[in-house]
Amino acid sequence: MNEVITALIIEDHPLYRGALVQLMNRLVGETAVRAVSSAEEGLRLQNMLSLSLIVLDLGLPGMNGIDALSAFVRQYPSVPIIVVSASEDRAEATSVLRAGARVFISKAVSAETITNVAHRILSGSLVEPEWITPKGKTAMGGSLLKLTPRQQETLELLAQGHSNKEIGLRLGLAEITVKVHVSAVFRALDVVNRTQAVLAARRQGLCLESKETDI
């Protein structure tokens, strides 16, 4: 008979892993928590049909970072993932959330905060992706969910200063199609021109460097 595992913890530091296990035990019960020390070990587990939550350390030995996160997203596409990390970098938080994590949370937050986040996920009340630091939480769902991969490519080229015609040539699209994508990017970012789009995208970690030009 398969084990009924509700929460899977992937954390290599013994003390922090133990603390996470205790927190999850209070939420789902001792027999419903499985803890492992590497991504590879977690990915080898099979038939975890009851799994409802994954807590993943971003800085594991072996497979780690976005690669590890992506592997768990592929293996458990319907299971929400909390990524814990010592980093408080916005660009990294954006990358993690866009790769499929539900929450990117600092290891410096309190046990109460982590428990609250896990409870909200398990109860279905945490819907939009969030970045949580010791200073509080930042809902990031809008920019993360509104841009399609093609719109993201268009935004990146736009931020580099390319015209619609140049973007079309680079992406193999008709210029009229590029205009449609540019308009969609403007709506998603709630802006009216390229300069505003680039500034908004940089604030949200969607692009890092740009040449700011008006339409």
- pLDDT at residue 48 in the model: 85
CA–CA distance, 38 with 59 (Å, rounded to integer): 10
The H-or-E segment that residue 53 falls in is strand 53-57
pLDDT tens, residue by residue, 128-158:
888 998 888 765 555 454 577 788 889 889 9
Do 88 and 107 contact (CB within 8 A), yes or no? Answer: no
Parallel, antiparallel or unpaired: strands 130-133 and 81-85? unpaired
3-class DSSP state of 133: strand
- pLDDT at residue 97 in the model: 86
Beta bridge partners of 56: 10, 83
The H-or-E segment that residue 137 falls in is strand 136-139
- pLDDT at residue 214 in the model: 39
pLDDT at 213 over 50: no
More confident residue, 111 or 203: 111
pLDDT tens, residue by residue, 2-29:
568 899 999 999 999 999 999 999 999 9
pLDDT tens, residue by residue, 78-135:
999 999 999 888 778 888 888 889 999 999 999 999 999 999 999 999 878 889 988 8
CA–CA distance, 142 with 147 (Å, rounded to integer): 9
pLDDT at 66 over 80: yes
CA–CA distance, 166 with 52 (Å, rounded to integer): 45
